[in-house]
């Protein structure tokens, strides 16, 4: 199970840190990622991390503002979000694969077997 937390209401320019705690499964064998879904829109890739080398990947819209990280001992995935914008408003989901996937497929939601329940992030202007 994946348990996401850390969402909330913040003003534009503010920061939030999302956490995703994994329980009952191997944490570091597959890709981990954050996706988000705004009302009326499809779920979109935000950021991902390679389980083997820790390489990180970001959507262009968040590059330079968001940072993904993981703590293997705590089995927790994080997303530090800085300089938040109203267009970042969405429900954020953490996702986990059982196995590593090629980088080009990392941004495809359908490739992930396990999902957290989502945490709402609202950025006011």
The values of phi and psi at residue 86, to 5°, are: -55, -35
Q: pLDDT for 47-93, tens place per residue?
A: 999 988 899 999 999 999 999 999 988 899 999 999 999 999 999 99
- Residue identified by tokens 């995703």 is 20
The values of phi and psi at residue 78, to 5°, are: -125, 160
Report residue 25's pLDDT band, with 50, 70 and 90 as the boundaries.
low
Q: Which two tokens stand for residue 42?
A: 């499809």
Q: pLDDT for 92-119, tens place per residue?
A: 999 999 899 999 999 999 999 999 999 9
Neighbours of 1 (CB within 10 A): 11
Q: State how far the alpha carbon of 77 is from the alpha carbons of 20, 68, 87, in Å.
A: 5, 7, 23
Kindly report which listed range (3-12, 25-34, 94-103) carries the lowest average pLDDT score.
25-34
Quote the CA–CA distance of 64 and 24 in Å, as a whole number.
33
């Amino acid at each position: 199970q994946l348990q996401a937390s850390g969402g909330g209401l913040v003003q534009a320019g503010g920061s939030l840190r999302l956490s995703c705690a994994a329980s009952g499964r191997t944490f570091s064998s597959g890709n981990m990622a954050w996706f988000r879904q705004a009302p009326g829109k499809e779920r979109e890739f935000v950021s991902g991390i390679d389980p083997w080398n820790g390489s990180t990947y970001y959507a262009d819209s968040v590059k330079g503002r968001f940072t993904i990280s993981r703590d293997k001992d705590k089995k927790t995935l994080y997303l530090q979000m800085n300089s938040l914008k109203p267009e970042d408003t969405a429900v954020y989901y953490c996702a986990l694969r059982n196995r590593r996937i090629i980088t080009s497929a990392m941004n495809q939601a359908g490739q992930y077997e396990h999902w957290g329940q989502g945490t709402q992030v609202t950025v006011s202007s």
